[in-house]
Amino acid sequence: MSRWVLRLVVLSIIILIVELYAFQALKTVTKNRYIRLVWLVVSALVYINLIYVIFSTSRSVGQTLEFQYAVGFMLTILIPKGVIIAVMFGEDVFRMAAKLFSWITPGETQPIGGRREFLSKMALGLAAIPLASFLYGIIQGRYNYKVLKYQLTFDDLPAAFDGFKITQISDIHSGSFTNAKKIQYGVDLINEQESDVILFTGDIVNNVASEMTHWISMFSKLKAPMGKYSVLGNHDYGDYVDWNTQADKAANFKAIQEVHPQIGFELLMNEHRYIEKDGDRLALIGVENWGKGFNQAGDLPKASAGVDKNDFKILMTHDPSHWEYEVKQDDFHYHLTLSGHTHGLQMGIEIPGLIKWSPSKYVYKQWAGLYEELGRFINVNRGFGYHAFPGRVGVWPEVTVIELKKGKSA
Q: Where are the beta strands (DSSP E) in 99-206?
A: 146-154, 164-169, 197-200
Dump pLDDT digits (tens) for 64-107.
899 999 999 999 999 999 898 888 776 666 667 666 766 776 65
Q: What is the mean pLDDT of residues 2-27?
A: 82
Where do the domains of the chain lie, and which CATH numbers do they carry? Answer: 3-139 (no CATH), 146-406 (3.60.21.10)
The pLDDT of 45-51, averaged and rounded, is: 93
Question: What distance in Å separates the CA atoms of residue 198 and residue 184, rounded to the nearest whole number?
Answer: 17
Give the chain's end-to-end CA distance (angstroms, integer).
Answer: 58
- What is the percentage of the chain residues whose pLDDT exceeds 90? 75
Q: Is 354 exposed, middle or buried (0-12, 13-18, 19+ CB in 10 A)?
A: exposed
39 within 8 A of 32, measured Cβ to Cβ: no
pLDDT of residue 386: 97
DSSP 8-class letter at 354:
T
pTM here?
0.90
Q: What letter represents residue 339's amino acid? A: S
Average pLDDT, the chain: 92
> Residue 222 above 90 pLDDT?
yes
Q: Which of 37-46, 121-130, 244-253, 341-350 has the lowest mean pLDDT?
A: 121-130
H-assigned helices in 239-342: 246-262, 300-304, 321-322
pLDDT computed for residue 12 by the predictor: 84
* Residue 379 confidence (pLDDT) above 80: yes
Report the distance separating Cα 274 and Cα 281, nearest Å: 6
Give me the pLDDT at residue 349, please.
94
Q: Which amino acid is at 227?
A: G
> How high is the pLDDT of residue 15?
86
Q: For residue 305, is pLDDT > 90?
A: yes
pLDDT of residue 113: 55
Q: Give 209's pLDDT tier (boundaries 50, 70, 90).
A: very high
Q: Which of 52-61, 189-198, 324-333 is predicted least confidently? A: 52-61
Of the candidate ranges 7-11, 51-55, 298-302, the one whose mean pLDDT is the lowest = 7-11
> What is the amino acid identity at position 180?
A
**Residue 65 to residue 347: CA distance in whole angstroms:** 19
Q: Residue 47: what pLDDT?
A: 93
Residue 385 per-residue DSSP state: S
